[in-house]
Amino acid sequence: MAKYVLALDQGTTSSRAILFDHDGTIVGTAQHEFKQIFPTGKNGWVEHDAFEILTSQMSAAVEVMGKTGTRPRDVAALGITNQRETVVVWDRETGKPIYNAIVWQDRRTADVCARLVSEGAEETVRAKTGLRLDPYFSGTKVAWILDNVDGARAKADAGKLAFGTVDSWLVWNLTSGARHVTDRTNASRTLLYNIVEDKWDDDLLTLLNVPRSIMPDVVWSSEKLGMVTTTLGLGEIEIAGIAGDQQSALFGQLCVEPGSAKNTYGTGCFLLQHIGYDFKISDQRLLTTLACSVDRKLEYALEGSVFIGGAVVQWLRDQMKFFAKSSDVEAMAATVKNSGGVVFIPAFTGLGAPHWDPYASGTIIGLQRGTERGHIARAAVESIALQVADVQRAMNNDTPVPLKTLRVDGGAASNDMLMQFQADILGVRVERPAVVETTAMGAAYLAGIATGFWSGVEEIRKHQGIGKAFEPKADRAEMDLLIARWQEAVSRSLGWNAPR
């Protein structure tokens, strides 16, 4: 009898593979980072090598199986969770990408989105997709590839190309090209999927000039899709779960009732709140997106996306050489009592919710002669929580009941200083689970439920517990002053990189 579920967690900077047992305990994990590509002279462009994504993910999967002595027959199912909105277009015959993967952070289509907004298209887009016209999403990236790679559009029109987000790319390769699919949560991030009528939308495909011939089939997040057919040591494991990383984390936290919410602290930060079975357009410039469903019903969530979360710490590590390991940021920030008046707006790729300014610029303000690296490090850590607070205030204005508890996960959630500051700035309880790998756990749960490894949500709930809770304890007036200074600094960063 199978003992484990394997989750492939394909992220923005690394690919991980995690084995979970029936109690939801991590049995083994493997992780491989891959290169971030910033084309020279192209401000705001971010790319990945799609084959490097694939090889890093497969290497991690094989490694975790080998380290734990796990055989394919020991694995009940495989679930995939992935960086969303990142685009791969490949040749159906050769299986080779025709261009690098364009990453969700990429801003190259900002001018296209601005033009479509000026033409009045955004209201229609929001009514069908719950999204805004922003280069963050997949649709304009696909069109850019078709328009800028020689012969691509002619090949697409002839049915010779395939488009997919990273989940599609992985499943295509795992099944030797037999399945070209995506799930509803990833489809809902493309600007091309009607989340009210549950279909690829012809009006949207026409608007963005994307041919239907390249689109994947859409499946449920918890559904048997077929066996792995590669010969990489994974054998014939059933692929049975797919979810975009943030919806996967929402499910992994078991935020399945309206009003429950989580925030994931990864490369970016993503706050999602389940709102039930009825589609609602945000009045506060948030997104409405599809949540995972094991009942095969459309379920919705409000989302606020912060583009640079934990990546601000990577920037201090890699570009500024402040420290050798990301985990060292907490110790450096602790060398000072506060940020010393320094405010750090990490708008390296513009600002997401609720500002939605692709031309905002990274800004450090409040520098003095006495400013130390510790002040900048602390301001960077605080910037993550302050961006989340911006999103939460907007979400409270969109929903009838203000948030009382925030569940947290992701790499930066292990930073106690950040979590306490988050509780203080929000004024609500922050709960960190015992296992913070809830993105991978969500994919495992979805695959395990589809194959009967778990009977459903209620069985899974028995295994979950709170690892640590953070209660707000700072002076409220002091926090309000910090928020006011933050908002003033944000206003100064807006539009800085706009074309002149």
Q: Is 158 exposed, middle or buried (0-12, 13-18, 19+ CB in 10 A)?
A: exposed
Contact 378, 398 (CB under 8 A): no
Annotated binding site: 12-14, 16, 84-85, 136, 245-246, 267, 310, 314, 411, 415
Q: At residue 460, what are phi and psi to the nearest 5 degrees?
A: -65, -40
DSSP state of 22: T
Binding annotation for glycerol: 84-85, 136, 245-246
Structure-derived torsion over alpha carbons of residues 146, 148, 153, 154, reported in degrees to the nearest 10: -160
Neighbours of 335 (CB within 10 A): 12
Annotated binding site for ADP: 12, 16, 267, 310, 411, 415
Q: Answer for the pair 264, 306: CB distance below 8 angstroms, yes or no.
A: no
User: Dihedral of the CA atoms 88, 90, 96, 101 (nearest 10)?
Assistant: -20
Whole-angstrom Cα distance, residue 339 to residue 90? 47
Binding residues for sn-glycerol 3-phosphate: 12, 84-85, 136, 245
Distance CA 352, CA 360 (A): 10
Query: Binding site for ATP: which residues?
Result: 12-14, 267, 310, 314, 411
Tracing tokens 């569940």 back to the chain, one arrives at 407
DSSP 3-state of 125: helix
Q: What is the DSSP string of 64-89?
A: HHHHHT--GGGEEEEEEEE-SS-EEE
Which residue in 167, 201, 31, 81 sits closest to 447, CA to CA?
Answer: 81
